[in-house]
């Protein structure tokens, strides 16, 4: 689209580019300001066509309403495109591009929501930004931990009632009694931490737990009533991963 030759012409205006300051004047136009600042900066770095921003400055005035959206495109495409988008035809072309993009985003959102529903049915739960999904079988803590990390996830670290409730639902769904959580007191007996070593910000221990029964319980299970109990890490529990 914008060959070096074309840039060469703007190059002369590059001298005007020093007028770039003018561009800033245009800035007063509320949103337009930011866009122009970027336009001035980019051409300066790439070539002498900085003068072009000056032209945009002129357009600034009408910009106010449309500017916001237009700027989004310009920001990514950088100098070459901005230099050409000085005429009304270019502006309307940008609007058409914007509308086309909005349609694409909307269709992507719809498709994403559909696949999300499919993915969560029936053994997944999403809570805020997190997704919990059960593998549907039992493993030892170490095996479960490995399985989750191999899939790009980790064992569940419920940090709120909502997250704990989602995990409880999966335990109930699988009818498997209990699932492993991520936390352990490996390093200091009685002090449970997340895999990164941080202390718990939320807990839901069953009465009398954790009790380090027989002095060998350093892992945590969540049982079907949502309560937690420390158990031996070698025990086999339902695998649920957090993503």
Q: Please select the residue that binds Ca ion; options are 6, 46, 77, 185, rule is CB under 5 A.
A: 185
Binding mask 132-171 toward ligand GLC (x if CB under 6 A, else -) reads: ----------------------------------------
Q: Are 219 and 155 in contact (CB under 8 A)?
A: no
Kindly compute the dihedral angle of the four CA atoms of residues 157, 159, 161, 164, in this order, to the nearest 10 degrees. Answer: 0
Q: Is 157 in the site for Ca ion (CB under 5 A)?
A: no
Residue 176 engages Ca ion in binding (rule: CB under 5 A): no
**Contact, 152 vs 241, CB < 8 A?**
no
Exposure of 215 by Cβ count < 10 A (0-12 exposed, 13-18 middle, 19+ buried)?
exposed
Rounded to 10°, the helix 67-77/88-120 angle is: 80
**Segment interacting with Ca ion, rule: CB under 5 A, options 76-84, 103-111, 134-142, 206-214:** 206-214
Binding piece for ligand GLC, criterion CB under 6 A, among 92-100, 149-157, 161-169, 223-231? 223-231
Q: CB 68 → ligand GLC: shortest distance, Å?
A: 58
Determine if 211 is a binding residue for Ca ion (CB under 5 A): yes
193 touching Ca ion, by CB under 5 A:
no
Q: Token pair of 91, please? A: 């502006």
x/- site string to Ca ion, residues 5 to 44, per CB under 5 A?
A: ----------------------------------------
* Residues facing 221 on adjacent strands: 180, 229
- Site for ligand GLC contains 231 (CB under 6 A): yes
Contacts of 221 (CB under 8 A, 6+ apart): 178, 179, 180, 181, 228, 229, 230, 231, 235, 237
Q: Which residues bind ligand GLC (CB under 6 A)?
A: 209, 211, 213, 217, 229-231
């Amino acid at each position: 689209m914008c060959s070096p030759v074309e840039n060469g012409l703007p190059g002369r205006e590059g001298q005007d580019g020093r007028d770039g300051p003018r561009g800033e004047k245009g800035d007063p136009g509320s949103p337009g300001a930011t866009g122009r600042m970027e336009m001035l900066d980019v051409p300066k770095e790439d070539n002498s066509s900085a003068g072009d921003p000056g032209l945009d400055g002129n357009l600034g005035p009408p910009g106010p309403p449309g500017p916001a959206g237009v700027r989004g495109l310009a920001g990514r495409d950088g100098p070459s495109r901005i230099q050409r988008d000085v005429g009304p035809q270019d502006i309307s072309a940008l609007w058409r591009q914007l509308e086309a993009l909005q349609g694409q985003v909307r269709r992507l959102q719809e498709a994403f929501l559909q696949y999300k529903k499919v993915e969560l049915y029936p053994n997944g739960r999403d809570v805020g930004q997190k997704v919990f999904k059960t593998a549907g079988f039992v493993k030892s803590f170490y095996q479960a931990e490995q399985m989750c990390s191999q899939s790009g996830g980790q064992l569940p670290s419920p940090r709120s009632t909502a997250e704990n409730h989602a995990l409880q639902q999966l335990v109930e769904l699988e009818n498997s009694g209990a699932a492993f959580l991520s936390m352990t007191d490996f390093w200091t007996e009685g002090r449970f931490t997340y895999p990164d070593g941080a202390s718990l910000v939320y807990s839901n221990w069953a009465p009398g737990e954790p009790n380090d029964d027989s002095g060998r319980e350093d892992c945590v299970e969540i049982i079907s009533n949502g309560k937690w109990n420390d158990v031996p890490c070698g025990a086999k529990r339902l695998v649920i991963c957090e993503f």
